[in-house]
Structure 1
Amino acid sequence: MAIKLIALDMDGTLLNSDETISAVNHDTITRALAKDVQVVLSTGRSFDTCFSYAESLNLTSYLITCNGGEIWTVDNELIERHLLRPERVQEMWERAENLNLNTWMISTDGVWRGMYPDNFSSHDWLKFGCDSEDPAALDTFIEELSYYDDLELANSLPTNIEINPKGVHKASALESVCERLNITLDNVLAIGDSLNDMKMIQEAGIGVAMGNAQEAIKNVAADVTDTNEQHGVSRAIEKYVLGD
């Protein structure tokens, strides 16, 4: 089926290592937009840390943020929001602290990196994250969380873990966006590099892994493009949308 929407992960995919969009990627996205193809940023980032990129690309559709925890329009209208229970966030923070993991938490009122609130229940929590260079510590954390049935686990790097409410991920948010645009996931080209991209890459009409993607993503993708430093997003759009 014809590609009518391009879903783009940001870090490790659309963005270079210096967190900028290359001129090549920018130009190719502009040409896709001119063909009436929607472009949606689908990211683990919060709205505040990705909106400026959407503006710079002149996007006109939706933003999927916090791994599907929120869906926004480019006009700053909140469409969907899915929250973690505060007591669960506190439990995860305490477990991560006991394992000496670096933590970050995204609430609706900000990002808590290496910090925690006096009262977890005073905030609405979108995502919990932690990272470590100690694989054993991360494995232990994952094992401890496996006993909870209300969590969705993924990562954006091999050295981290990102957690959303069960059933909340980029693919579920993308399906919601497609319904609003009166298209299906078969009309989607999804591009990403990490485990938090896996489900959208599997469920999209065409799922493409970056050249720098984790091996698990390459294994499930329909194709593998160049790395984020070599304009892999541009190459995939050229191949599957522009036909150049």
Structure 2
Amino acid sequence: MDIKLVALDMDGTLLNNEEIVTAFTREKIAQAQKQGVHIVLSTGRWLGTCYPYAESLNLSSYLVTSNGGEIWTIDKELKERHLLDPERIKLVWELAKDRGLVTWSVSTDRVWFDEAPDDFSAHEWLKIGCNSLDANKLDEIVKELSYYDDLELTNSLPTNIEVNPKGVSKASALRSVCHEIGITMENVMAAGDSLNDIKMIQEAGIGVAMGNAQEAIKKVADHVTSTNAEDGVGKAIEKFVL
């Protein structure tokens, strides 16, 4: 298969457990770029916490951030943005707080860790997440939010929930990137480990689950590579791209 774009989740995928891109994986990314392959970070992170990695890897293509909530060029030109209703952010925040969960909310200008603004409507919102080791509490929130058909529910770990606008995903963003480049999802290799990666892994020509991925991801992937601590991304690029 002619892979022209490699889409990489970051946490639990590209980054090892120390949040580092290893020398081996860096080398394989550099080799792929020399062959003209686009390397696209496709992450739940916002621009501020993923851009330094893009710089250090000398990436030259697009960045998919906030689970597809935004698409940026490497020159920080915003190509696409999808916003959540501030009332929905407030709803999720209050549900999480009522159950004692830790929250993080991503506005277009900052990340709010376990805190809320004085006025939710004074900001533009990309996503919100909450975390708990109590699966029952997470299930309760999912049940509550399932009644709202304008929300996209996913996770980046088994211990959290992440909320984006309905229809927004890493896959939908990558389709837009493919359109810009002039390729299709058949030309994409996508790698990830969590439910916010599942759609891009399903839609990509080659979907790769990390060895440390959630079982649901492994079941839909075309290939299971090594873990994020064992150069799984570098090995997948070597196998399918180089």
Structure 1: which amino acid aligns with 2:115? Answer: M
Structure 1: which amino acid aligns with 2:44? Answer: G
1:159-184 Cα distance to aligned partner (Å, 9 max, x none) = 00111000000000000000000000
2-structure distance, mates of 1:142, 1:102: 15
1:103 aligns with 2:103: yes
Partner of residue 165, structure 2: 165
1-structure distance, mates of 2:88, 2:240: 42
1-structure distance, mates of 2:124, 2:18: 31
Cα distance, 1:100 vs. partner?
Answer: 1.1
1-structure distance, mates of 2:96, 2:150: 18
1:79-115 Cα distance to aligned partner (Å, 9 max, x none) = 0000000011111111111111110100011000011
Partner of residue 83, structure 2: 83
1-structure distance, mates of 2:181, 2:69: 19
1:216-238 Cα distance to aligned partner (Å, 9 max, x none) = 00000001000000000011001
Partner of residue 44, structure 2: 44
Cα distance, 1:125 vs. partner?
Answer: 0.3
**Within-5 A mapping of 1:110-125:** 110-125=110-125
State TM-score, norm by structure 2. 0.99
Q: Secondary structure at the match of 1:103?
A: strand
Structure 1: which amino acid aligns with 2:237? Answer: I
Count how many residue pairs are aligned between Structure 1 and Structure 2: 242
**Within-5 A mapping of 1:1-244:** 1-242=1-242
2-structure distance, mates of 1:105, 1:178: 28
Runs (4 or more) in structure 1 with deviation over 3 Å come to: none
Structure 2: which amino acid aligns with 1:96? Answer: A
2-structure distance, mates of 1:32, 1:16: 20
1:189-237 Cα distance to aligned partner (Å, 9 max, x none) = 0000000000000000000000000000000000100000000001100
Unaligned runs of 5+ in 1: none
Q: Secondary structure at the match of 2:116?
A: coil
2-structure distance, mates of 1:87, 1:154: 19
State TM-score, norm by structure 1. 0.99
2-structure distance, mates of 1:184, 1:158: 30
Structure 1: which amino acid aligns with 2:186? Answer: D
Q: Secondary structure at the match of 1:126?
A: strand
Q: CA RMSD in A?
A: 0.5
Unaligned runs of 5+ in 2: none
Cα distance, 1:62 vs. partner?
Answer: 0.2
Q: Secondary structure at the match of 2:88?
A: helix
2-structure distance, mates of 1:152, 1:31: 36
1:9-62 Cα distance to aligned partner (Å, 9 max, x none) = 000000011111000100010000010000000000000000010001111100
1-structure distance, mates of 2:190, 2:97: 35
Structure 1: which amino acid aligns with 2:179? Answer: E
2-structure distance, mates of 1:162, 1:88: 12
